[in-house]
Structure 1
Amino acid sequence: MDSNTQDKAPEVWHKTRMRVPLFEVDIGQAVYHGNYYHLFELAREDFLRELGYPYRWFMDRQLHLTIVEASCTYRKSLRYDDLIEIHTGIQWWRTRSLAFSQIIYRCEEEENPVLCTRAILNMVCVRFSGQPTILPAEFVDLLRDWVGKRG
């Protein structure tokens, strides 16, 4: 993907459905703002498994995707046991980096999900030593195929 796609929303989304777990809510019975990132991470892992490149494969190669920039917009609160759907898409990728676009919807009605939270996470592939490195070629090929088959 080229840099012209940086501001364009992904055309293809992976969807992860779950209920908000009790351990993510605060005393006010809503998800604490920092805990939304746990939900985003669970959805990214689910996406990578479906892609055919589970995060374990990065770790087996002593690689990690490190968040270098994150932006998050909170629109509606999530509460314990809400049924949610997290959409995960690839905003762009380059040789060493990529950006995930993620959106959380509350599934109150099947036809009208409620937009609750939106985030963009820019990540860089690094070795366990902290040195930036290129994304694995197999991973990039799978990303290209996934976007091509669904886009």
Structure 2
Amino acid sequence: MAVEFDSLDDMPHASQRPAAIDTCLFDALAYLGLLPFVIGIAMQITGVTLFGVGGRFWFAAYSTAILSFLCGIWWGGALNRVRHPHRLALILLSNLVCVAAWFALLLYATFWGLPLLAAGFAFVLWAEARLNPNLPRRYNYFKTRSRVSYLVIGCHLVMIAVIALTG
């Protein structure tokens, strides 16, 4: 049975708990996660397809997958912290954002698809700052996540501009 701690006060003394989690791997993976966005932009600019998939759909599908993954983190936070003050909001919003992302994927070929996906990342960034889905000791990880989220939103804006310029 897993032990849960809703506050730092509930946690065992420092001498009784394992060393702080090293977030280097998580940070590296978060930044590497930008690569498929960049590949999608490059594919759109050059007209290259991979496995018959164009840059616009590549970009939108990957964006949807990552938003779904982020929603899973909220779901996990709510699942593992039953006394979390925003547990219900995390559960409901994780589902709402995930469904909205998949709806945006259906609209990938229209003007609205990519802006809706970008708005999804902005909303997740905004909501995480308020709902704190995970423990406070994950601060460094979420600092990286915030930076990467800004870069992802920037990639969406670049892709929107590329599509506007290339048609």
TM-score (norm 1): 0.24
TM-score (norm 2): 0.23
Which has more radius of gyration?
A: 2
**Richer in helix (by share):** 2
**Richer in strand (by share):** 1
